[in-house]
Amino acid sequence: MGYMSSTPTTEQVNAALATVQDPEIHRPLTELDMVKSVEISADGAVSVGIYLTVAGCPMRGRIEKDVSAAVGKVPGVTGVTVDLDVMSEDQRKALQTKLRGGQAEKEIPFAKPNSLTKVFAVASGKGGVGKSSVTVNLAAAMAAQGHKVGVVDADIYGHSVPRMLGADDRPTKVEDMILPPTAHGIKVISVGMFTQGNQPVVWRGPMLHRALQQFLADVFWGDLDVLLMDLPPGTGDIAISVAQLLPNAEILVVTTPQQAAAEVAERAGAISAQTHQRVAGVIENMSYYQAPGSDERTYLFGEGGGQVVCDGLTKSLGTRVPLLGQIPLEVGLREGGDSGTPFVLSDPDSEAGKVLRSIAEELVGKPRGLSGMMLGISPARR
């Protein structure tokens, strides 16, 4: 070439490494103390040592590739080799403390008074009303609107959220901290990720409570705008545990239009009177069917159930409970649930997609600036 390109400096290589994020923790490797060593030879060949958090790290290939690509872009680098090592127990403990903001003990971040995360517990009176599908599509709509979203699949007996989101990865454990897999930009954790195959979960109340507590305290959620929890149908142990663990969680009630479903759904919302939680609103699912290209709506399951629930809850709770939206039946909603791509992403302009997107926007508003900050003023309890 006729001129000598200068040998890259350690600073340049470290600056390049600072642009590489751990795929699970989503923070730079340099910040997580994952860079073990950087050696630069005179001919510009760079050797980088990286500490993996755990030996069988499922993302090792991705980390290797990202490091090679980033360091390879530094002027003067002629080649990159990446050596992977594994953190010692002490290093992992230090990382855990760092991720927890210097706190070694466990607490549920969303339950702290200064938490900015909006928590919605999605409840229904009975199964089969499409509660999980509503949860997943709201999560996907919120994430697409620019919010940081997490989903806890607390439906212990019918855990279907990971499949609906296409979240096939297992969670990774760093010491006793769990890193949730991400799908469509949504962090998701489910009891189904901790059982073998499609085993049913046969747990009693106290175990369920403990599992839920773990999902909330041991999982590294990072800084979430919204946390959605898919509850089992009915008014059982889990609903009470959620109220104890997350007193600030707001309840979303999902029902279908028929009166029988509405009565049961009203009971699910009414426990909030005992738990002092706010009911954010009612969502009526499977409201009507509209054939493609036609304006005619067929009310397969009767009509008015959602409004009945709103009226009943408004009366029993003494505060207005709004009907947030009526979602029509669409074949794609079910197909999306089976394929792992939520319907609001694959078909956002469909009628159901529009309703779901508007409900999502109504619940969380615009991505947060300072508007969501707690001012330390609490409303007087009646």
Distance, in Å, from the CA atom of 380 to the CA atom of 280, rounded to the nearest integer, reads 19
**Cβ contacts of 169 within 8 Å, gap of 6 or more:** 58, 181
201 annotated to a ligand binding site: no
125 annotated to a ligand binding site: yes
132 annotated to a ligand binding site: yes
Supply 155's token pair. 């439906």
127 annotated to a ligand binding site: yes
128 annotated to a ligand binding site: yes
131 annotated to a ligand binding site: yes
130 annotated to a ligand binding site: yes
Residues, the chain: 382
38 annotated to a ligand binding site: no
- Binding-site positions for ATP: 125-132
What residues form the annotated binding site? Answer: 125-132
